[in-house]
Amino acid sequence: MQDNYTKLLRHLELPQIDETLLRKVLMRIENEERSQARRGLVIFSFCSCFCLAFLVRGIQLLLGDLAHSNVIELISLFFTNTKDVLAIWQEYALSILESLPGTRIAVLAIIAAALTISCEGLVRTLSSFRTHGLHAKLLTH
Amino acid sequence: MEVQDFELIQRYQKGDEKAFHELVRRHLTAVYRFVFQFCGSESEAEDIAQDTFVKAWKNLAKFDLQKNFRPWLFTIAKNSALDALRLKKGLPLNFFDNEEDDISELEKVPDVEPLPPEVLDRKTLADDLKRALDLIPVTQRTVLVMHYLDQMTFQEIADVLKKPLGTVLSWHRRGLLRLKDFFA
């Protein structure tokens, strides 16, 4: 019974697609890809600059903190009195840890991680620009 | 042998843009014809088909390969078509619920008898068929076209239209009855 209706519906004259439709679809995707890449470029560039500025300032502050703490003296003690330091190495290691500006180092590590992620995103976005025009190129082959 | 859709999607997910190109080429006509059933205008159908593939491209990277690609794509097409129609005509959100779609209705719909063979010999068959389909509600027409022309199973159609299988079967039978009445 259904064969009968299949035969009938095969006579339906559905509109034929415009030959340029495939190209139009791929061009739309191409444009979408471009605008996504542009957005990514702006966001990742801004984040990278922001993180870099914070990182530089953070390093300056960290160096200042280190200069005011006695870490440098403790480290130089290791080279001048290695034998004595090794005898009390546990206390020595604790002293060094206590004298380090821990919070600032942690914040700096987070900023460095954010900078790495932003740079990675930036490189990925820039490399995606190389593939632009691919859909259009594919059409010509 | 033709490469399966899921293989093309796998290749695309691994970075092969050509694979997506092939998917577009393969399904463009069917998607275009499908959305044409809703809007009835060639230029609108073109715009909606473009929207459909842009949306598919955006989501294909996270497509679940366990799923069937075609119903997934047609679902996007249906949603794009309804969104476009809503913007244009202020279509209600429950567009598909406006039709008689009670599952129990299927039992009330009588069985469809075959068409008389002479119907297929009519010279004006294509024109008559077009007129007949124009008189059928869009849901029933969509089911008929998807099943008989796009070769989709009723379950696939139910998945696309987000309707129970019984409802789709009911629409199908009602559609055939209307066709039969028209040609009788």
Give per-residue pLDDT as tens, B32-79: 988 888 887 888 899 999 999 999 999 998 898 888 899 999 999 999
- Give the chain B residue whose CA is nearest to the CA of A11: B126
User: pLDDT, tens digit, for every residue of A76-119?
Assistant: 888 888 888 888 888 888 888 888 888 889 999 999 999 999 99
Token match 């299988």: residue?
A: B165
- When pLDDT is cut at 50, 70 and 90, the band that residue A70 belongs to is confident
- Whether A137 shows a pLDDT value over 60: the answer reads no
The class of domain B100-183 in CATH terms is mainly alpha
Indicate the residue of B21, B176, B179 with minimum beta-carbon distance to A26: B21
User: What pLDDT is stored for residue A108 in this prediction?
Assistant: 93
Residue range B79-102: mean pLDDT, rounded: 69
What DSSP character marks residue A101? -
User: pLDDT, tens digit, for every residue of B93-126?
Assistant: 555 655 555 555 556 666 667 777 676 777 777 7
Measured in whole angstroms, the distance separating CA A141 from the mean position of its chain's CA atoms is 35
Chain A contact set for B174 (CB, 8 A): none
- When pLDDT is cut at 50, 70 and 90, the band that residue B163 belongs to is confident
A21–B17 C-beta distance less than 8 A = no
Q: Does the residue A82 lie in any domain?
A: no
Q: Does the residue A10 lie in any domain?
A: no
Range of the domain at A128: 24-68+102-140
Report the 3 state secondary structure along chain B: CCCCHHHHHHHHHCCCHHHHHHHHHHHHHHHHHHHHHHHCCHHHHHHHHHHHHHHHHHHHHHCCCCCCHHHHHHHHHHHHHHHHHHHHHCCCCCHHHCCCCCCCHHHHCCCCCCCCHHHHHCCCHHHHHHHHHHCCCHHHHHHHHHHHHCCCCHHHHHHHHCCCHHHHHHHHHHHHHHHHHHHC
- Whether B130 shows a pLDDT value over 90: the answer reads no
**What ipTM does this complex have?**
0.73
Residues of each domain in chain B carrying CATH 1.10.10.10: 100-183
The class of domain B5-89 in CATH terms is mainly alpha
Q: Does the residue A18 lie in any domain?
A: no
User: What pLDDT is stored for residue A13 in this prediction?
Assistant: 75
Chain B contact set for A5 (CB, 8 A): 112, 115, 144, 148, 176, 179
Chain B contact set for A17 (CB, 8 A): 28-29, 32, 46
> Which segment of A9-23, A26-40, A96-110 scores lowest on mean pLDDT?
A9-23
Indicate the residue of B28, B33, B176 with minimum beta-carbon distance to A5: B176
Q: Is B95 on the interface with A (CB under 8 A)?
A: no
Nearest C-alpha neighbor of B25 from the set A102, A110, A17, A41: A17
Residues of each domain in chain B carrying CATH 1.10.1740.10: 5-89
* Share of residues in chain B with pLDDT > 90 (%): 22
Q: Does the residue A76 lie in any domain?
A: no
Q: Does the residue A108 lie in any domain?
A: yes
Q: Does the residue A46 lie in any domain?
A: yes
Q: Which residues have a Cβ under 8 Å from the Cβ of A83 and sit 6 or more positions away?
A: none
Chain A contact set for B33 (CB, 8 A): 14-15
The H-or-E segment that residue A112 falls in is: helix A102-130
CA atoms within a 13 Å half-sphere pointing along the CA-CB vector of B134: 9
User: What pLDDT is stored for residue B75 in this prediction?
Assistant: 92
Task: Kindly report the pTM of this predicted structure.
Answer: 0.70
Q: How many domains does chain A have?
A: 1
